[in-house]
Amino acid sequence: MLLSKTFLPFLKDLPSEAKIKSHQLMLRIGMIKQSSAGIYSWLPLGFKVMKKIESIVRQEQNDIGAQEMLMPTIQSADIWKESGRYNDYGEEMLRIKDRQGREMLYGPTNEELITEIFRSSIKSYKSLPQMLYHIQWKFRDEVRPRFGIMRCREFYMKDAYSFDINDEEAKKSYNKMFYSYLKMFTRLGLKAIPMAADTGPIGGDLSHEFIILADTGESNIYADKNIFEINTDEYDLSEKSLEKMRSDFSSFYAVTDEKFDKNDFNLKVKKDDQILTKGIEVGHIFYFGDKYSKPLNCLVDHQEGKKVPVKMGSYGIGVSRLVGALIETNFQNDIMKWPKSVSPYDVVIISNINKNNKQSLQTSIKVYNELQKQKIDVLLDDVDENMSAKFKKHDLIGIPYQIIIGSKSEKDRFEFKEVGTDAILLSLKEIIEKIKN
């Protein structure tokens, strides 16, 4: 892509309405644009990053056998009346009437709808277990939307739902999801810590929030610092390993405000190991057994002949919130560096455009064509602007690799830089190898 042709509405000044750095950066470099309070359009640069995150989430969910589907954003109020949540959910739910006067709503979550789908086709224990998920927009009419896409009204969520015959089997599904989340966050370059949590309007008695540490997070975190030493690469999908994973994590104290107890904290964690900090909730998983299957009459034939309500869990990831969370953790001292797995481009060519010397641009185009041939997603900065302004701009856009084509480049060797390290002179072949590795 040529920068001169890219839709990238850069703002000159820091947007004053934004309070945290992810919100500031996303507006500044044109990743998003607010359309009304807590509702945003995703512009090409922001959309590209979000789609890459979505793709990692999808791959990791598929890897544990979850099946992707797509449910609508608009739901009928009837199923919510059946579960009893229509009234309980309160003002966060956006309620709509269609032209026939039927009560509808914009889905804040999908427990009811998925249970209704499931009960209409699955009748026997023989078809269990099942895990279904979709990645879809949600709407919650938050009292105080804030921090850009971190706490907004319309947001993009991956929500998965598990169905099992009994508690024991359901715990295995829960553990698989737990494992899938750890892998996902590792691929996103994030250290997310699972913390025992309250269940709120979703319900149930077993729940974990996945939190990444960030000063601007909305959750207070109380943890034993040794939890950060757990090596998540050790685990696999065998039952034994998954149980070990759960017991390793639960052996360390790590909770948010709702579960915090000062005495307990001091008793269980040595003073030197205590961490009190802030974090961002990027995922939340729940086990609630028959909370929805019972009122919605979602029954399956048990091995022993009787009919039992299916045991369910639900598992959310804030896909759009993750874009902000990644900025909060990777944007420091006015320099952004996207993890390679989700960077909007693999590499940027920063070309010294000079009216009297067309050589740089010609060389840049040659390099650009070669990288494209190699299926490398490359942005060429072909804008007529001085180099120091260009460097400043790319510090914000955050593409992790830069090829600088100007006075220092030699005939077949170019200045190549990984953000945060010094530039080195490399041949195009060496550059391609570095990017591909």
**Alpha-carbon span 228 to 273, nearest angstrom:** 11
With respect to ligand 5CA, which residue has the nearer C-beta, 256 or 314?
Answer: 314
Decide: helix, strand or coil at residue 371: helix
Contact 150, 23 (CB under 8 A): yes
> Of the listed pieces 81-89, 314-322, 342-350, 405-413, which binds ligand 5CA according to CB under 6 A?
314-322
Write down the least CB distance from residue 165 to ligand 5CA, Å.
21
Binding string to ligand 5CA for residues 283 to 312, with x set by CB under 6 A, is what? xx-x--------------------------
With respect to ligand 5CA, which residue has the nearer C-beta, 83 or 314?
Answer: 314
For 195, residues 6+ apart whose C-beta sits below 8 A from its C-beta are: 208, 209, 210, 211, 221, 223, 254, 255, 256, 259
**Alpha-carbon span 234 to 422, nearest angstrom:** 34
**Alpha-carbon span 370 to 405, nearest angstrom:** 15
Write down the least CB distance from residue 298 to ligand 5CA, Å.
16
Write down the least CB distance from residue 24 to ligand 5CA, Å.
17
Write down the least CB distance from residue 72 to ligand 5CA, Å.
16
Write down the least CB distance from residue 255 to ligand 5CA, Å.
16
The residue type of 167 is D
**Tokens read off for 148:** 């850009």
> Of the listed pieces 14-22, 74-82, 257-265, 278-286, which binds ligand 5CA according to CB under 6 A?
278-286
The reply on whether position 282 binds ligand 5CA by CB under 6 A is yes
Sequential DSSP letters for 241-254: HHHHHHHHHHTS-E
Write down the least CB distance from residue 142 to ligand 5CA, Å.
5
The reply on whether position 208 binds ligand 5CA by CB under 6 A is no
Alpha helices in 252-318 (DSSP H): 262-268
The reply on whether position 281 binds ligand 5CA by CB under 6 A is yes
DSSP 271: G
Strands 413-418 and 401-405: antiparallel
Decide: helix, strand or coil at residue 113: helix
With respect to ligand 5CA, which residue has the nearer C-beta, 148 or 406?
Answer: 148
* CB-count burial class (<10 Å; 0-12, 13-18, 19+) for 77: middle
The binder of ligand 5CA chosen from 52, 119, 134, 151 (CB under 6 A): 151
With respect to ligand 5CA, which residue has the nearer C-beta, 177 or 227?
Answer: 177
The reply on whether position 185 binds ligand 5CA by CB under 6 A is no
The reply on whether position 318 binds ligand 5CA by CB under 6 A is yes
The binder of ligand 5CA chosen from 40, 80, 118, 155 (CB under 6 A): 155
Write down the least CB distance from residue 131 to ligand 5CA, Å.
12
Size of the site for ligand 5CA (CB under 6 A): 19
The residue type of 141 is D
Sequential DSSP letters for 34-89: EEETTEEEE-HHHHHHHHHHHHHHHHHHHHTT-EE----SEEEHHHHHHHTHHHHT
The binder of ligand 5CA chosen from 107, 289, 316, 339 (CB under 6 A): 316
The reply on whether position 157 binds ligand 5CA by CB under 6 A is yes
**Alpha-carbon span 426 to 77, nearest angstrom:** 62
Write down the least CB distance from residue 261 to ligand 5CA, Å.
22
Chain contacts with ligand 5CA (rule: CB under 6 A): 109, 140, 142, 151-152, 155, 157, 159, 202, 281-284, 286, 314-316, 318, 321
